[in-house]
C-alpha cells in the first residue's frame, strides 16, 4: 500500500489510508478548481489524484473555464474574502453565476463525492444532482468583507460539508465543518532530494551566484505575499550582513493581477544587483527545490495567508523559516522552535540577521522543522483527512475506526 511513502510518512497515516481505500474502493471522487497550473491547490491535486487512484478510488480532476472578466471578478472576491475593501456588484455576481452555469453544462459533475475548491466554482452546487458535495476554502477568511462573504455563503451553505485550513477561518454555515490543513508531497519534484550537481546546474542556469548567503521567498506575485516588504527587510539586513535576495514565483492562470505586482516588485528592486526577481514558468518545481536547498534563510512574509505551502516546503528541506504571523503560517511555525513568526519589516530583518549570525541555531530549528512537517503536513495525512470527511458524511458521522 503506497510503498513509496513507507519510511517517509508516519506509519499510522498509511494504515488509515489503506483502511479508507478498502471502504471507498470503486467509488468516484471528483475535484473541481479553477487552474491546472500555479498555486498550491493545483500543486496538491496533481499529486493527490494519483494517490487516490492507487487506493482504488475513481478520482477525477476538472478545471472550470472562464473569460477574462470572470477571473477579474473572482480575484476581487478572493481579495475581499481576505479583507481588501472590494465592491462586488449584483451584475458581477450574475456573471460569476453564468460562467458556473456554462461549466455545469460542460463538465461531468456526477460522482459519489465532489470537492469544490475555493470561490471560483462555488456556484456549481446549484447544479448538483447526486453525491456528497464538499466546499473547500483554501484562503484566509479570518476578517472578510462581510457583504461579499455573506453572498458567497449563499452557495456554500448548500453543500453537505465545508473544509477550512485553520479553525478560526470556519463560519457559522449550518452544515458540517472540518479543519484540514494543506500539505506537501515529499516525493514530488519540488521536494525530493537533489544531488549537488542538480543544484549547481540550476543555479548556473538561473544566474544565482553561490558565493553569498541567500535569502529566499517563493510565492505568487501578490500584494498579500508582501514582496515589497521582503525587499525592505533585506535592505535593512544588507547594512550589516552581505547577502543576496531571491524573489521567485510562477504565474497563475486565474490571477490577473500577477503581472502588475511583478512590475511593481521589479521597479522597487531596480538598481540593486544582489536582488534577483525570477519569474519562473509553470511547473518549475525542480528549480524551486534547488533554490530552497541553496538558501540560507527562507521567508514567507505574508500579510494574509490561507496556509502557505512554501513554509512547509522550506522546513522539509531543513531550512530556518521566517513567516508572517497570519492565517495558516502559525500552524506550521512554532515560534522559536521550528522558525520565527514576525509582524513587521523590522521584525523580519531582525530574525534574518539572527539566523545569519547563528548558524547552529538555524541548523537546529531546521531539523526540528523537518520533523514537524513529517508528522503534520505530508500529503498522505491530507488524503487521509479528505477520505475521512467523505466517509463520515456518508455514514452519518461515523469514523472508519468504528467499523
DSSP assignment of 14-35, as one string?
Answer: HHHHHHHHHHTTT-EEEEEES-
Apex CA 374: angle with CA 372 and CA 380, to 5°?
A: 135
Distance CA 258, CA 39 (A): 12
- pLDDT level of residue 140 (50, 70, 90 thresholds): confident
Q: For residue 278, what are the CA distances in angstroms to 99, 275, 386?
A: 33, 10, 34
Which class for 349: exposed (0-12), middle (13-18), buried (19 or more C-beta within 10 A)? buried
Same fold for the pair 3-183+378-397 and 196-376: yes
The grid coordinates of residue 41 equal: 491547490
Q: Which helix (H) or strand (E) holds 136?
A: strand 132-136
Which tens digit of pLDDT belongs to each residue from 251-275?
776 677 888 999 999 999 998 999 9
Q: For residue 166, what are the CA distances in angstroms to 307, 330, 368?
A: 8, 10, 22
Tell me which fold the domain 196-376 belongs to.
Answer: Rossmann fold (3.40.50)
Task: Specify the CATH architecture of the domain 3-183+378-397.
Answer: 3-Layer(aba) Sandwich (3.40)
- pLDDT level of residue 228 (50, 70, 90 thresholds): very high
The domain ranges of the chain are 3-183+378-397, 196-376
Q: Which helix (H) or strand (E) holds 341?
A: strand 340-342
Give the predicted TM-score (pTM) of the model: 0.91
Is the pLDDT at 231 greater than 60? The verdict is yes
Distance CA 114, CA 32 (A): 8
Which tens digit of pLDDT belongs to each residue from 298-326?
999 999 998 999 999 999 999 999 999 99
Q: For residue 172, what are the CA distances in angstroms to 78, 127, 162?
A: 19, 23, 11
Distance CA 248, CA 32 (A): 27
Amino acid at each position: 500500500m503506497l510503498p513509496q511513502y513507507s519510511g517517509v510518512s508516519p506509519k499510522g497515516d498509511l494504515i488509515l489510508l489503506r483502511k479508507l481505500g478498502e471502504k471507498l474502493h470503486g467509488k468516484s471522487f471528483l475535484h473541481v478548481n479553477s487552474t491546472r497550473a500555479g498555486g498550491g491547490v493545483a500543486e496538491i491535486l496533481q499529486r493527490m489524484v494519483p494517490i487516490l487512484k492507487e487506493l482504488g478510488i475513481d478520482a477525477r480532476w476538472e478545471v472550470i473555464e472562464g473569460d477574462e472578466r470572470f477571473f477579474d471578478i473572482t480575484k476581487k472576491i478572493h481579495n475581499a474574502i481576505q479583507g481588501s475593501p472590494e465592491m462586488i456588484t449584483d451584475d458581477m455576481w450574475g456573471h460569476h453565476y453564468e460562467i458556473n452555469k456554462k461549466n455545469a453544462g460542460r463538465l461531468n459533475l456526477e460522482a459519489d463525492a465532489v470537492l469544490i475548491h475555493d470561490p471560483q466554482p462555488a456556484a456549481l452546487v446549484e447544479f448538483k444532482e447526486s453525491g456528497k458535495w464538499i466546499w473547500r476554502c483554501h484562503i484566509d477568511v479570518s476578517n472578510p468583507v462581510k457583504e461579499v462573504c455573506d453572498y458567497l455563503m449563499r452557495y456554500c451553505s448548500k453543500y453537505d460539508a465545508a473544509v477550512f485550513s485553520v479553525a478560526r477561518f470556519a463560519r457559522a454555515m449550518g452544515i458540517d465543518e472540518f479543519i484540514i490543513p494543506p500539505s506537501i508531497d515529499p516525493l514530488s519534484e519540488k521536494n525530493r532530494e537533489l544531488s549537488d550537481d542538480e543544484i549547481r546546474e540550476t543555479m548556473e542556469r538561473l544566474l544565482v551566484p553561490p558565493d553569498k548567503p541567500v535569502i529566499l521567498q517563493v510565492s505568487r506575485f501578490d500584494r498579500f505575499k508582501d514582496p515589497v516588504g521582503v525587499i525592505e527587510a533585506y535592505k535593512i539586513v544588507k547594512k550589516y550582513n552581505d547577502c543576496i535576495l531571491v524573489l521567485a514565483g510562477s504565474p497563475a492562470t486565474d490571477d490577473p493581477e500577477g503581472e502588475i505586482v511583478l512590475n511593481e516588485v521589479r521597479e522597487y528592486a531596480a538598481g540593486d544587483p544582489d536582488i534577483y526577481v525570477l519569474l519562473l514558468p509553470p511547473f518549475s518545481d525542480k528549480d524551486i527545490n534547488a533554490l530552497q536547498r541553496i538558501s540560507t534563510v527562507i521567508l514567507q512574509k505574508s500579510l494574509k495567508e490561507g496556509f502557505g505551502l512554501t513554509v512547509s516546503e522550506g522546513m522539509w528541506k531543513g531550512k530556518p523559516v521566517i513567516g508572517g504571523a497570519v492565517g495558516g503560517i502559525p500552524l506550521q511555525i512554532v515560534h522559536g522552535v521550528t522558525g520565527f513568526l514576525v509582524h513587521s519589516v523590522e521584525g523580519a530583518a531582525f530574525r534574518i540577521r539572527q539566523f545569519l549570525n547563528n548558524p547552529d541555531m538555524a541548523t537546529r530549528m531546521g531539523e526540528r522543522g523537518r520533523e514537524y512537517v513529517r508528522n503534520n503536513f505530508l500529503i498522505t495525512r491530507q488524503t487521509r483527512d479528505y477520505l475521512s470527511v467523505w466517509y463520515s458524511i456518508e455514514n452519518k458521522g461515523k469514523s472508519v475506526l468504528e467499523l
